[in-house]
Structure 1
Amino acid sequence: MEQPERPTPLANSGVAPSHAVAARSPSSHASRPASADPDPGQIVATGGRAMKHARLPMVTAGGDWAGAMNIHAGQIAGGVAQHGVEQTRARLRLASIMFVLVFAVLGGRLAQLTLAEDPQLARVGMADQKAEVQRPAITDRNGVVLASQIYLTTLGANASEIQNGEKVVAQLSGILPNINAQRARRLLAGDRHYVELSKGLTPLQKRAVLELGNPGLKLRREAQRVYPSGSVASHVVGFTSTDMQGLMGLERRLDEQVQMSPVFETTLDIRVQHAVRESLSAAIGKFSAKGGGAILMDATNGEILALVSLPDFDINRPSATPLSRHFNAMTMGVYELGSIFKVMTAAMALESGEVKLNETFDTRVPLEIGAATINDVHGEKRPLTPREIVIHSSNIGSVQLALRVSDVAHYDFMEKLGFTQRLQFELPETGAPLMPVRWTDIERATTSFGHGFSVTPLHALVAGAAMVNGGVLYPPRLTRTDVSVGTRVISEPTSMVLRDMMREVVTIGTGKKANVPGYDVIGKTGSANKPARGGYDDDALITSFLAAFPYSDPRYALLVMLDEPQGIPETHNLTLAGWNAAPTAAEIIARAAPLLGVRPAMQAPLRAREKMAAGAGEPALALKAEVPHAP
């Protein structure tokens, strides 16, 4: 392609040829033909790439072209330098911004991984933190320590740094007589960075290990929980892992507390706990039962003084026993507990106003409901009053009491007593009741005598205490409080009548073996066949006894349960609750009452009907629509 002609300056002259000079002005430039305007990219031969886009300066005729060109070249060079500086600054600013953004993203992602997206990482972090925090001591109501924390010295080793394992093990065997030498040799023969060789070194043993001067041996100070009561309160206290995380019982509940005080005081009385456990254990052995449990509660505020579930385990060595022993039958297990619920059925019927105290119900023949037939085990074969239905534990009579009440009122009463939901309790191990899916007459009938629905023994005890303490249901508690708030579920006059019924159960009814002279025990027996495939097992019973004492003003409520007790010659080979659960309750009360400061009564207290005859008047038994909170 033909190139445009390049202007050539004259030799030894500072003036450009006349044909290369143009007086530039906006008007002249605009009117000049396009071919007359030189190509800016080709005008100046010198100046290299920096001059490529420059334009010629304006020079008047006779002016100094060379001077003008030199000045312009300097301006261009200065402009290029300034441009380079600005470009560098811009790049630095961009790099700084990118640097900040990258670190912000990385920091945000790290926080997200730690706190939000990976709870396992968060748990690991908390475990490290908890291992450094002093967990509170757990005590009973009298300050007796149930759980504490000590620090032990643990001996470990970096196996990759041990040159002669046999020699090291020989040295350690002289210092630590209980060390497992065979295991230690095997561990030190490997190349792991840390292996644990022995725990619980004494100060003298620690000093002797240090004097060996072996850098491959490592000494660590580790926290450990100790439980002086051993297995006595295992299901209540619980235990922790080696990294101080609670795994069961109150130890697990402590992990949920935001602030930990140095001491966590419980409502337990370890003296009573020990007495209850011994009496229950003896009964399980005597009647060859699979297991059992007992709970003793303050009926006036819901505080638990003793809670035993057998079999149990030593919480200092929880891994040494089968996991089945860790199961808390009294708060986690749900059972059909039988006739102890006849007390609640009588209360519901009397409170409804549909049943009168002196009314009678025919129990001479079995009751037919649909395809089901209701029979009596302790049949009186005669008309019975509500009082006699409870005393003689009549299934037929209890069903008639329940069916006098509407189905809605019946279910509402069950709900009010807490039988439709899990209890709010300090122990994490709590079971949810199993209510019938349908609510027809047959479900209501079986429910009236404690069959066809399952609750935890703690549910039954809490409701039973409300029946005899004046009608107030208090939630169960393992922590002490100055003010206990309960909910009134029945009237006080009805509660007085129920106490009379339950006293006569012990004096003339099915619970005579629960009587303890001087303490006027009141109670109700309960026996229920265990569910089996296709129905119930006729040879397997859950027996229970719901008790309270003293009769005149019940302060304490007790529930005893035995799992599949067997008949013995002393019981004429009978296995109902009156022969095993009732005498077990009597043994517990006889031992626990003096520890609790309950004085034996010197004379028999007045019954509710005797009090009414003395001037109190007929009690109003209908419960008000609104249930007020107890004071």
Structure 2
Amino acid sequence: MRGEVMPSLIRPGGDLVEATNAQLGIRLGDLEGHAVDITRRRIWLAVWVFTLIFTLLGARLAHLTVGGDGPMTVKRNTQPQVAQERPYIVDRNGVLLATQISAYNLGADARKVEDVEEMVAALAAILPGLNRQKATRFLSSNRRYVELMKGLTPQQYKAVLTLGNPALKMEKADRRFYPHGSLASHMLGFVGSDMQGLAGLEFFLDRSLEPLSQESLRDGRLPVTLDIRVQHSVRAELAKSIKKFSATGGSAIVMDVENGNILSMVSLPDFDPNLKPWNAGHQRLFNKATLGTYELGSVFKIFTASMVLETGAAAPEDTFQTSLPISIGRHEITDPHGEKRPLTVGEIVVHSSNIGSAQLALSVTPEVHWGFLERLGLIDKPELEIPELTNPQLPRQWGEVERATSSYGYGISISPLQALVAGAAMVNGGVMYRPRLINDDLPLGVRVISEETSTHMRQIMRAVVTHGTAKNARNSKFMILGKTGTARMAGPGGYDSSRLMTSFLGAFPAHSPRYAFIVILHEPQKIDGVYGTGAGWNVVPLSTDIVERIAPLLGVMPHPAYKPADNIILHKVREVL
């Protein structure tokens, strides 16, 4: 109404709001501007905080991407880098032995399959390894996903894609591939479906107590000491002789005596690591060269002779009576093909006299005898970069009988690897090197006999070839030296003379040995045209064939004009007699 005074509007909060604002120095009319100022400050604060956060994150990302040392580091390189979960394995010449390839697993949504028989037929036409019966059963199950086949190659993957069937499903699953198949299977080993090593070097890569050095891993590759050319030659000759003599198996190792590098290691029968090796069976997976322990027979005589020469228990010209058997307790030791005359230390080895070898062993104390075997690494588990290793089988007591029989290789079982490592030290000047498959550091060697003793052992082992049980190797132009071993195999009823293990531990060239080897045949049989079943008739010719093939590959030149002097030890005996 005109003339009436309208009451002033009071904001919510009434007098309390006015009182509060009065204390803050804010007039009632300025409240809206004050609220806007506060909101604006909060927005700017949020902007600055987020800007700071993203700046820090960007700086860290740039650091990791360009020059950092974290797990996301990418080094600039003119060559594209291919990520490898496992390193390539290559031989000493760079030949590829194991790699990682792209593969695919094939599955299907069984509910979407309209014609099971038609789909199985189409898949079988492009996938030779498809299990048709299994695929038919799975595709008829009406399940959301069934797995039909693993390990499709990129070519098979493309072929499946051309079918254009939406029911099929494929996922990438890298797998390990071994280009040479079974050629080096026991050394390389294999991996499981999870790409974790289960045997051989593959196992070592995952479970090594010490990480491999940068010197060992070069550009994602692991170079090993194996020479695939030598491996192929050794395996081919060993397989040929196993078939020729109807043997149940065999093994062979070749090693560089100057550093312990393993150039070849074969155990037959073997397996293909590309074809589900865990289904190959125990016989094929078992590495006879490193995991098997055997009584190697007369091969042990070189260790016994070396012991007495090194300790001074006998001189090279000393003779021992071998005309008659000797008795130790209730046991009688004889020579099946003895010389029936006094023999020097060297002749005991050359003519493989059990009687003489027993006398050599008993000429030293039990402590000296055991200590010498321990020095040669024949008492403990050997070392190598694969898990397939085992402890030797030793006598329960160390009396005269055990010492006598072990002197010629019975009652003590060792692996071929152990025999080879100790044998190499007998001929290389007296230094025993740790065997190895990976060149990760300088060769680790320890002197076990003197150079003088080693010289005597080279003469003796060459005389085994020229005058003794390994005459079938004397015509080799690469001058082989060594020692044979023919041992009866133990069975439930004792030793079985019809089941033999023949072996030859040797080296070449004789005048300056560079490579040592051991070759073994399990239960070789007599064949027409061959006089006997001992080592001299089967494993010695086999070893000669191996040396003839691998020596040129290793740069060893033939010496047809080289004629070693008649063994001085044998000559002295002839004068005495």
Report the residue type matching 2:86 in the other structure.
R
**Mapped partners of 2:492, 2:157: distance in 1:** 60
User: 2:112 maps to which residue?
Assistant: 162
Trace 1:181-220 onto structure 2 (pairs within 5 A). 181-199=132-150, 200=152, 202=154, 205-206=157-158, 209=161, 212=164, 214=166, 216-220=167-171
In structure 2, the CA distance between the partners of 1:166 and 1:594, relative to structure 1 (3 Å rule), is same
> What SS does the corresponding residue of 2:313 show, helix, strand or coil?
coil
Corresponding residue of 1:248: 199
Query: In the alignment, what sits opposite 1:577?
Result: 535
CA drift of 1:278 comes to: 0.8
Whole-angstrom CA distance in 1 between matches of 2:382 and 2:466: 33
Give me the whole-angstrom Cα distance separating, in 2, the residues matched to 1:534 and 1:273: 38
Q: How many angstroms apart in 2 are the aligned matches of 1:604 and 1:201?
A: 55
Please list, as runs of the form range in 1=range in 2, the aligned pairs for 1:73-152 lying within 5 A after superposition: 134-152=85-103
SS in 2 for 1:232: helix
Q: Structure 1 205/517 Cα, relative in aligned 2: closer, same or farther at 3 Å?
A: closer
Instruction: Using the TM superposition, give the Cα deviation of residue 183 of structure 1 relative to its aligned residue in structure 2, in angstroms.
Output: 3.0
Work out whether 1:336 is the aligned partner of 2:295. Answer: yes
Give the 3 Å change call, closer, same or farther, for CA 279–609 of structure 1 in structure 2.
Answer: closer
> 5 Å matches for 1:483-562?
483-562=442-521
Change (3 A) 1:189 1:423: same
Q: Match of 2:243? A: 285
Q: Of 351, 362, 366, which aligns to 1:392?
A: 351
The one-character-per-residue Cα deviations of 1:208-266 (angstroms, maximum 9, x if unpaired) are 6388462x532200111111111111111111112211121111111124467611111
- Residue 368 of structure 2 corresponds to 409
**Residue by residue, what CA displacement relative to the aligned partner does 1:318-360 show, whole Å, maximum 9, x if unpaired?**
2563332111011000000000111110110011112111111
Alpha carbons of structure 1 residues 163 and 610: separation in structure 2 relative to 1, 3 Å = closer
CA distance in 1, matches of 2:290, 2:362: 30
CA apart distance, 1:206? 4.0
Q: Shift in Å at residue 481 of structure 1?
A: 4.3
Q: How many Å separate the matches in 2 of 1:567 and 1:448?
A: 27
Distance 1:589 1:172 in 2: 52
1:429-508 to 2 correspondences below 5 Å: 429-481=388-440, 483-508=442-467
TM-aligned CA distance change 1:313 to 1:212, over 3 Å: same
Deviation, 1:136, is 1.1
Q: Which residue pairs with 1:273 in the alignment?
A: 231
CA–CA distance in 1 between the matches of 2:369 and 2:494?
25
The 1:581–1:191 alpha-carbon spacing in structure 2 relative to 1, beyond 3 Å, is: same
Counterpart CA distance in 2 for 1:575 and 1:497 is 29
CA apart distance, 1:185:
2.9
Alpha-carbon offset, residue 204 of structure 1: 8.0
Moved over 6 A (4+): 608-611
Q: CA deviation at 1:169?
A: 2.0
Secondary structure of the 2:524 match is coil
Contact 1:172 1:209 (8 Å CA) reproduced:
no
- Which blocks of at least 5 consecutive residues in structure 2 are unaligned? 1-82, 570-577
Contact 1:339 1:393 in 2 (8 A): yes
CA shift for structure 1 position 378 = 2.3
Amino acid at match of 1:479: I
Distance 1:181 1:364 in 2: 72
Shift of 1:567: 1.2
**Structure 2: which amino acid aligns with 1:136?**
P
SS in 1 for 2:181: coil
Partner SS for 2:103: strand
Q: Could you give the per-residue CA deviations for residues 375-419 of structure 1, whole angstroms, max 9, x where no partner exists?
A: 012200000111111111111011111111111000000111111
Opposite residue 328 of structure 1, the aligned amino acid is: N
SS at match of 1:588: helix
What is the CA–CA distance in structure 2 between the aligned matches of 1:229 and 1:204, rounded to whole Å?
A: 21
Which residue identity lines up with residue 169 of structure 1 in the other structure?
M
Distance 1:150 1:251 in 2: 16
> In the superposition, relative to structure 1, how do residues 373 and 272 fare at CA in structure 2: closer, same or farther (>3 Å)?
same
- Contact 1:497 1:608 (C-alpha < 8 Å) held by counterparts: no
> Tell me, what secondary structure is at the counterpart of 1:432?
coil
Equivalent-residue separation in structure 2 for 1:175 and 1:568 (angstroms):
47
SS of 1:313's equivalent in the other structure is coil
Gaps of 5+ in 1: 1-131, 612-631
Whether the 8 Å contact between 2:127 and 2:156 is mirrored in structure 1 is: no
One-letter identity of the residue aligned with 2:182: S
CA distance in structure 2 between the aligned counterparts of 1:272 and 1:394, rounded to whole angstroms = 34
Normalising by structure 2, what TM-score?
0.78
The residue type equivalent to 1:342 in the other structure is K
Cα displacement string for residues 106-161 of structure 1 (whole angstroms, at most 9, x for unaligned residues): xxxxxxxxxxxxxxxxxxxxxxxxxx9621111111011111110112221233x4
Q: Residue 227 of structure 1 corresponds to which residue in structure 2?
A: 178
Question: Structure 2 vs 1, CA of residues 546 and 419 (structure 1 numbering), >3 Å: closer, same or farther?
Answer: same
Determine helix, strand or coil for the equivalent of 1:463: helix
Q: Choose 1 or 2 for highest CA Rg.
A: 1
- Larger mean CA deviation between 413-422 and 178-187 belongs to 178-187
**Partners of 1:175 and 1:209 within 8 A in 2:** no
2:315 corresponding residue in structure 1 = 356
Which letter maps to 1:149? Q
Query: Distance in 2 between the 1:170 and 1:286 partners?
Result: 45
Instruction: Write the letter of the residue equivalent to 2:179.
Output: P
Shift of 1:458: 0.6
For 2:139 and 2:299, locate their aligned partners in 1 and report how far apart those are by CA, in whole Å.
Answer: 62
Change over 3 Å in CA distance of 1:536–1:201 after alignment to 2: closer
What's 1:620 paired with?
none
Q: Say yes or no: does 1:419 pair with 2:378.
A: yes
Q: 1:204 to 1:409 in 2, by over 3 A?
A: closer
Distance across 2 between alignment mates of 1:324 and 1:589: 27
Once residues 127 and 543 of structure 2 are traced to their aligned partners in structure 1, the CA distance between those partners, rounded to angstroms, is 48
Secondary structure of 2:488's aligned partner: strand
Inter-CA distance 441–223: structure 2 relative to 1 (3 Å threshold) = same
Q: 1:10-54 CA deviation, whole Å, 9 max, x = no partner?
A: xxxxxxxxxxxxxxxxxxxxxxxxxxxxxxxxxxxxxxxxxxxxx
**Whole-Å Cα distance in 1 between the matches of residues 444 and 107 of structure 2?**
53
- CA change 1:204–1:394 in 2 (3 A) is closer
Cα distance in 1 between the residues matched to 2:299 and 2:436: 22
Which residue identity does 1:243 align to in structure 2?
Answer: D
Kept in 2: contact 1:500–1:607 (CA 8 A)? no
SS for the counterpart of 1:433 is coil
- CA distance in 2 between counterparts of 1:282 and 1:253 reads 31
Q: How many residues align?
A: 478
User: Structure 1 residue 189: deviation in Å?
Assistant: 2.1
Please give the alpha-carbon distance, in whole angstroms, between the structure 1 residues aligned to 2:153 and 2:384: 39
* Distance in 1, Cα, partners of 2:529 & 2:159: 62
CA contact (8 A) 2:84 2:100 kept: no
Q: Are the counterparts in 2 of residues 298 and 556 from structure 1 also a CA contact under 8 Å?
A: yes
Alignment equivalent of 1:304, drawn from 262, 287, 301: 262
Within 2, Cα distance between the matches of 1:585 and 1:163?
A: 60
What RMSD over aligned residues (CA atoms) do the two structures have, in Å? 2.4
Match of 1:24 in 2: none
